[in-house]
């Protein structure tokens, strides 16, 4: 018992050491501003993000370097790199005391955009930059995601799209670029389009265990169609796989590698372009592109994630936005955690502190204390301006430590089919079946700890099934029950007291 008490003292010390904040970067309402890149923690008291701005009432673009301290106070906010040639950074990586950035850059004297890559030192001073023109005049090229490969090269993916796609839909292409660590060119590929009547682009990239690269994205026309393209380590095209749902539109925006060698991708599954019935979409494939599993989460909600990170247990933590009903005014910032099999674990929702405002997270990064940095935007509906938003949470997605972590409870026909009692429990919990019609069916119950790891797995059948909890430490656990076809049935919490 003495050692158990010491364990909980250490765990409580770790959690209490995590801190949070929610900061709106102060700027006049004249700006329409957003942070699309992940926040970079250069040290515990220096958090940096570059924001991009348009002017609300006259033509002009600019960018700002924003530096916050560990309490979320804005220490510096100044023009970056100059006030007229704006950089919009979509992705950034902090490794080996260097910052790697990708996005798009506006060249004011020519009024054109270039896709953009850069390497900065730990003071955010430029080491090198590379600007890449479109293959078509007046396009808007941009790199939306980037990784460092096992060989130290940079693989950037994005779009080479026309500002007005209605003029020529054939001028909208997915784009992959491979350079070495000094920015020297290795390979470039504009993906030939499988469909001529729409727009498509890459939005994420991931590398497998053998150095092959997988870019994901979607094609936009009457209905979104997701696709994945495989390249070798030199950037040579291998195959393209389109994944079309017969009814719904789908789009993939991010991918991660699993320890078993498979790849997990996240995105959006939706009914139509109006925003109704948007749901979280999970797709797991093997290295041949074969779909091994596909899950749609959040039945009845309108939600979307943009970027995800992965923890040591292979769970995915994704940031984006959510509307609680289709008729809700505005959106909330959204943070959700999935297991490596695509099961939803917990979620948090974040409202703006500005009245009449929609909130949205664009990106996510890890903090050194085990929490997360979230970057995005607060959009003020009244005067069509916006302000940058940086939030820091603990490992449970809480800005204020100790907040309630909501386990995902999806709305299904048999939501209340099971009753778990006693709860709180000690050495066991009984799982009661509430409908005699289903006594003969087998169901499967997984118990998860607060890090999203499966700690117990049980078969549930008959009127009552007793689940032994004696091997578990005191604390809160999440349960999820599925049927034999892996269909979600019910979820919730179990508290174990000792």
Q: How far apart are CA 346 and CA 481, in angstroms?
A: 15
The 8-class DSSP code of residue 26 comes to P
Residue for token digits 């993906």?
191
**What is the per-residue pLDDT for 293?**
92
- Token readout for 238 is 């291998």
Q: Which helix (H) or strand (E) holds 93?
A: strand 87-95
Asked if 386 and 30 count as a contact pair (C-beta separation under 8 A), the reply is no
| Residues 6+ away with beta carbon under 8 Å from 424 | 494, 495, 496, 497
**What is the per-residue pLDDT for 31?**
85
Domain with CATH 2.130.10.10 in the chain: 20-404
Residues forming beta bridges with residue 447, ordered by sequence position: 456, 479
Q: Is 48 left (phi over 0), alpha (psi -120 to 50) or beta?
A: beta
Q: What separation in angstroms does the CA of 142 have from each of 232, 241, 346?
A: 22, 23, 33
Q: Would you give the end-to-end CA distance of the chain in angstroms?
A: 11
Asked if 279 and 295 count as a contact pair (C-beta separation under 8 A), the reply is no
Name which of 123, 198, 211, 129 is nearest 168 in CA terms: 198
Q: How far apart are CA 146 and CA 36, in angstroms?
A: 14
Respond yes or no on whether the N-terminal peptide bond of residue 295 is cis (omega within 30° of 0).
Answer: no
**What is the per-residue pLDDT for 273?**
53
Q: ∠304-361-115 over CA atoms, to 5°?
A: 95
Domain with CATH 2.60.40.10 in the chain: 418-496
Label residue 327 exposed, middle or buried (CB < 10 Å: 0-12, 13-18, 19+). Answer: exposed
CATH number of 20-404: 2.130.10.10
**What is the per-residue pLDDT for 4?**
36
Q: How far apart are CA 189 and CA 498, in angstroms?
A: 60
Respond yes or no on whether the N-terminal peptide bond of residue 238 is cis (omega within 30° of 0).
Answer: no
**What is the per-residue pLDDT for 266?**
96
| Residues 6+ away with beta carbon under 8 Å from 282 | 264, 265, 266, 293, 294, 295, 296, 297, 338, 342
**What is the per-residue pLDDT for 343?**
83
Asked if 450 and 472 count as a contact pair (C-beta separation under 8 A), the reply is no
Q: Where are the beta strands (DSSP E) in 258-384?
A: 263-270, 279-285, 291-297, 302-310, 316-323, 332-338, 344-350, 357-366, 372-380
**What is the per-residue pLDDT for 431?**
92
Q: How far apart are CA 362 and CA 121, in angstroms?
A: 24
**What is the per-residue pLDDT for 159?**
93
Q: What separation in angstroms does the CA of 359 have from each of 223, 320, 334, 378?
A: 26, 9, 9, 5
Asked if 448 and 456 count as a contact pair (C-beta separation under 8 A), the reply is no
Per-residue pLDDT of the chain (498 residues; tens, 9 = 90+): 333 333 333 344 444 468 899 999 988 878 889 999 999 999 999 999 999 998 877 777 899 999 999 999 999 999 999 888 899 999 999 999 999 999 999 988 888 899 999 999 999 999 999 999 988 776 889 999 999 999 999 999 999 986 554 555 566 789 999 999 999 999 999 998 887 777 889 999 999 999 999 999 998 877 789 999 999 999 999 999 999 988 788 999 999 999 999 999 999 888 755 555 778 889 999 999 999 999 887 655 678 899 999 999 999 999 999 887 766 777 889 999 989 988 888 888 898 766 667 899 999 999 999 999 999 998 876 666 788 999 999 998 988 776 655 554 443 333 468 889 898 898 899 998 887 778 888 999 999 887 778 899 999 988 889 999 999 998 888 888 888 877 778 888 888 987
Is the sign of the CA dihedral 477, 481, 486, 489 positive or negative? negative
The topology under which CATH files domain 418-496 is: Immunoglobulin-like (2.60.40)
Q: Which helix (H) or strand (E) holds 9?
A: helix 2-17
**What is the per-residue pLDDT for 16?**
47
Q: Which helix (H) or strand (E) holds 14?
A: helix 2-17
**What is the per-residue pLDDT for 7?**
35
Q: How far apart are CA 462 and CA 468, in angstroms?
A: 17
pTM of the prediction?
0.81
CA within 13 Å, CB half, 345: 27
Q: Which helix (H) or strand (E) holds 145?
A: strand 139-148
């Amino acid at each position: 018992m003495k050692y158990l008490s010491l364990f909980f003292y250490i765990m409580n010390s770790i959690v209490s050491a995590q801190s949070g904040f929610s900061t709106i970067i102060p700027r006049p309402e004249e700006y329409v501003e957003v942070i699309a890149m992940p926040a970079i923690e250069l040290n515990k008291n220096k958090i940096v993000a570059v924001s991009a701005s348009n002017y609300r009432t006259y033509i002009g673009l600019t960018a700002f370097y924003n530096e916050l301290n560990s309490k979320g106070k804005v220490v510096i906010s100044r023009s970056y790199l100059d006030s007229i040639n704006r950089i919009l950074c979509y992705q950034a990586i902090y490794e080996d005391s260097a910052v790697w950035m990708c996005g798009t850059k506006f060249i004011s004297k020519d009024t054109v955009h270039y896709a953009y890559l850069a390497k900065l030192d730990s003071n955010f001073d430029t080491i090198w930059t590379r600007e890449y023109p479109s293959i078509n005049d007046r396009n808007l090229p941009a790199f939306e995601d980037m990784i460092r490969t096992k060989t130290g090269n940079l693989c950037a993916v994005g779009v080479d799209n026309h500002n007005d796609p209605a003029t020529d839909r054939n001028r909208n292409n997915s784009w992959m670029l491979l350079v070495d660590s000094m920015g020297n060119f290795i390979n470039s590929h504009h993906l030939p389009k499988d469909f001529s009547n729409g727009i498509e682009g890459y939005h994420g990239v991931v590398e497998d265990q053998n150095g092959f690269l997988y870019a994901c994205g979607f094609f936009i026309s009457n209905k979104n169609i997701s696709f994945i393209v495989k390249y070798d380590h030199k950037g040579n095209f291998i195959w393209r796989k389109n994944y079309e749902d017969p009814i719904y539109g789908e789009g993939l925006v991010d991918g991660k590698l699993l320890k078993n060698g498979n790849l997990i991708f996240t995105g959006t599954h939706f009914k139509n372009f109006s925003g109704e019935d948007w749901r979280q979409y999970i797709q797991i494939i093997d290295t041949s592109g074969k779909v091994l599993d596909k899950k749609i989460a959040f039945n009845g909600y309108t939600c979307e994630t943009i970027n995800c990170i992965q923890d040591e247990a292979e769970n995915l933590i994704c940031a984006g936005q959510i509307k609680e009903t289709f008729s809700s005014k505005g959106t909330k910032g959204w943070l959700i955690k999935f297991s490596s099999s695509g099961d939803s674990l917990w979620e948090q929702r974040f409202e703006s502190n500005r009245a009449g405002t929609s909130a949205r997270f664009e990106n996510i990064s890890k903090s050194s204390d085990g929490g997360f940095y979230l970057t995005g935007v607060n959009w003020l509906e009244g005067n069509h301006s916006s302000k940058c938003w940086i939030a820091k949470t603990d490992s449970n997605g809480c800005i204020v430590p100790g907040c309630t972590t909501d386990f995902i409870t999806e709305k299904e026909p048999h939501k209340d089919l099971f009753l778990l009692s006693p709860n709180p429990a000690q050495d066991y919990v009984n799982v009661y079946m509430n409908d005699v019609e289903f006594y003969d069916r087998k169901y499967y119950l997984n118990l998860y700890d607060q890090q999203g790891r499966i700690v117990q797995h049980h078969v549930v059948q008959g009127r009552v099934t007793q689940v032994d909890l004696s091997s578990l430490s005191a604390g809160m656990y999440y349960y999820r029950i599925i049927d034999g076809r892996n269909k979600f049935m019910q979820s919730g919490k179990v508290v174990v007291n000792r």
